[in-house]
A and B are shown apart, each in its own frame.
Chain A
Amino acid sequence: MIESLKQQYNIEQKESRLFKLIIKKEEFLKTLSFISSSSNFITLSQIACADWIEDEIFKLNYILTTKERDKNLMIELEIPREESKLPTLLNFFPQAEVMERDLHEMYGIEFIGNPTLYDFALENWKEIPPMRREFDTLAYVNEHFDFRKGREDNRDVKVEIKRRRAEAKRLKNANK
């Protein structure tokens, strides 16, 4: 089956059972609809998203699996970070509902047509979507939470290492 898809699409073989197809955003629905209905890649296993902030894009990988569960096809496309919208795949795969809800919350991607893009793991989140690279976890934690009492002597590890090294050096020089 992968051979017939190869005739139609430029599919790269990454490993013995892992294939990759890179498509443009405009071809998204047409390609997914065709592959899911006319090949044996019938299951959507994962929608993976990576933030390439330096290129101003998100790379999404729709990972499809065959009916026999013996091969995986990664369909990759890029969408702009600032205008991150895609049509939902709910009509083809019911499991896309929760995967899209997850990515909507974590990256702020709008999946047009998905009616359940409400809270996933976070509640009333008003900040930048947390999986975007510009979201600074440490700054957020320092701003919103207090350190537990009893840890006032908690020292910065790097500062402490530097101090100990300097102390060791000083002792070594003193012994000379």
Chain B
Amino acid sequence: MQTNNELIKIFHGPQHPGITGNMSVELDLLGETIKGARTHVGYLHRGFEKLIERRTIIQAFTIVCRICVPEPDPNEENFARAVENLADIEISQRAKYIRVMVLEMARLGALFLWMGGQSGSIGLGTIGQWSVHDRDLILDLFEELTGGRVYHMYIYPGGVRRELPNGFLDRLSQLLDYLESRLPLYDNVFFDNSSFKKRAIGIGVVDANEALKNGYVGQVLRGCGIKRDVRKDNPYLVYDQLDFEIPTFEGGDVYARAMVRRGEIRESIKILRQVIKQMPEDGLIMQKIPKHRKFKLKKDDTFVATESARGEFAYYMAGDGTEKIRRMQVKGPSLIHGFTLLEKLLIDEELSNVAMIMNSLGICPPEMER
């Protein structure tokens, strides 16, 4: 900050309706224009990675989902897959399909919630009420399947924890019909809304030439027209057996990232319809796994990644031959987007655009401070 009193310093967050969680951005302002930005986290530091070092597999499993509130399931999937790699467990085809179903339902829920956040950041409050209601219908199904609405604790090393309730796939199919019927309404009030376009086009522009090298992921990449998605590039579960597209958009701005998400909602619905159709009727949902204290990981390490609704979620995991995890290191999309990218994008932007840019990047503090 300069010392000639030209700049004013303010903290955008952690107590601010336009901040995406418990974090703050320290801004140096010249009038309304941002001249410097620095991200601060630590308001939500719960020490997941440290806690996990003291825990056995089932004990660690109960806190893994809490790393990301809007979309906990990619964490469960990463955790389960990393443990399976280190314990040489192969899961059944049916369990893989159920996991894809859960992950895509979670993606839809997260995208609807994002729509509420993004529209709220520019004052379009009604859209949030609609989209959060529609997300609640997805949560109803989650509750029926797992017993939990937000944290599911369902994807466990070896498969999934419960069989699908009777008629669940039919109810999911009906919900997809309903959600699909809502999409033109969202187009009218949000994606094609001229107030949103006027605010979002040309704001928070990411340089496509730097995007890949700098480690940006998810909609930030795809909003620059770069077709990258872990589900296609490095497929896991049964994504290589499903037919879906990776939506992209040109421009690299807030609007492009929103339009990518618009496409992703449609693709998720398409994936879920295929899952319902192709779901194997037979197959163990859970492999025979060792009991609590006998569940040991070999002395080795692994790296797994899952495409979450906000981009690649990756875990490094090391075992040491005991029943406890030697090290689990989380890398969510927000680590790079919330620091390196956000601090860069905010320079020379207006103060009123901070919330909109943060929402478009999908920044979530718990995965930064783990």
Nearest CB in chain A: distance from B212 CB, A: 6
Is there a chain A Cβ closer than 8 Å to B47's Cβ?
yes
Check if A24 is an interface residue, CB within 8 A of chain B.
no
Taking a contact as CB atoms closer than 8 A, the residue among B42, B303, B335 that contacts A72 in the complex is B303
Interface string of A21-57 (1 = CB under 8 A from B): 0000000000000000000001111101111100000
B303 near A43 (CB under 8 angstroms)?
A: no
Q: Is B62 an interface residue (CB 8 A)?
A: no
Does B234 lie within 8 Å of A17, measured CB to CB? yes
Q: Are B327 and A93 in contact (CB under 8 A)?
A: no
* B329 interface hit (Cβ, 8 Å): yes
Q: Given A120-B42, A122-B45, A131-B49, verify A42-B213 contact (CB < 8 Å).
A: yes
User: B314 is contacted by which of A46, A52, A71, A135 (Cβ under 8 Å)?
Assistant: A46
Asked whether any CB of chain A lies closer than 8 Å to the CB of B346, the reply is no
Given contacts A42-B213, A50-B326, A69-B228, contact A94 B340 (CB under 8 A): yes
A63 lies within 8 A of B340 (CB):
no
CA distance A123 to B369 in the complex (A): 12
Give the docked Cα–Cα distance between A137 and B54 (Å). 10
CB contact between A48 and one of B45, B316, B340, B368 (< 8 Å): that residue: B316
Q: B233 on the interface (CB 8 Å rule)?
A: yes
User: Which residues of B (306-358) have their CB < 8 Å from a CB of A?
Assistant: 312, 314, 316, 318, 326-327, 329, 331, 335-336, 339-340
Is chain B's interface secondary structure helix, strand, loop, or mixed overall? mixed
How close is A13's CB to chain B, nearest CB, in angstroms?
13
**Given contacts A48-B316, A48-B329, A49-B329, A95 and B214 within 8 Å (CB-CB):** yes
Instruction: Determine whether A109 belongs to the interface, using a CB cutoff of 8 Å to chain B.
Output: no
Q: How far is the CA of A70 from the CA of B235 in the complex (A)?
A: 9
How far does the Cβ of B342 sit from chain A's closest Cβ, in whole Å? 11
Q: Is the CB of A74 within 8 A of B368?
A: no
Which residue from A71, A72, A137 sits with its C-beta under 8 Å from B51?
A137
Say if the beta carbon of A98 comes within 8 Å of chain B: yes
B233-A121 in contact (CB<8A): no
State the CA gap A159–B340 with chains docked (Å): 49
Instruction: State whether the Cβ of B125 lies closer than 8 Å to any Cβ in chain A.
Output: no
The count of residues in chain A whose C-beta lies closer than 8 Å to any C-beta of chain B is 42
Alpha-carbon distance A132/B309, docked complex (angstroms): 32
Contact of B215 among A44, A71, A131, A133 (CB under 8 A): A44
Q: Does the CB pair A51–B331 fall under 8 Å?
A: no
Residue of B nearest to A18 (CB): B303
Residues in B whose Cβ lies below 8 Å from that of A148: none
A120 to B336, CA, bound (A): 13
Contacts of A46 in B (CB 8 A): 303, 314, 316, 329, 331
By the criterion CB–CB under 8 Å, are B340 and A14 in contact? no
- Is the Cβ of B42 less than 8 Å from the Cβ of A45? no
Bound state CA distance, A67 and B369, in angstroms?
Answer: 27
| Residue contact A98 to B339, C-beta cutoff 8 Å | yes
A24 to chain B, nearest CB (A): 18
Which residues of chain A in 134-175 are interfacial with respect to chain B, using CB atoms and an 8 Å cutoff? Answer: 135, 137
- What residues on A are CB-neighbors of B318 within 8 Å? 48, 50, 59
18 contacts between A and B (CB under 8 A): A14-B302, A15-B302, A18-B302, A43-B215, A45-B312, A48-B316, A49-B327, A50-B318, A50-B326, A51-B327, A63-B314, A69-B212, A69-B233, A70-B234, A72-B234, A94-B340, A99-B335, A119-B42
* Residues on B facing A (Cβ under 8 Å): 41-42, 45, 47, 49-51, 53-54, 85, 212-215, 228, 230, 233-234, 301-303, 305, 312, 314, 316, 318, 326-327, 329, 331, 335-336, 339-340, 368-369
Q: Top 8 closest A-B pairs, CB basis? A: A48-B316, A50-B327, A121-B369, A121-B42, A98-B339, A69-B233, A95-B215, A46-B331
User: Measuring CB to CB, which residues of chain A are less than 8 angstroms from any residue of chain B?
Assistant: 14-15, 17-18, 42-46, 48-52, 59, 61, 63, 65, 67-72, 74, 93-95, 97-99, 102, 119-123, 130-131, 133, 135, 137
19 extra A-B contacts, CB within 8 A, seeds A59-B318, A94-B214: A14-B302, A17-B234, A45-B305, A45-B331, A50-B301, A61-B316, A63-B314, A68-B233, A70-B233, A71-B234, A72-B305, A93-B214, A95-B215, A99-B335, A120-B369, A121-B41, A121-B45, A122-B42, A131-B50
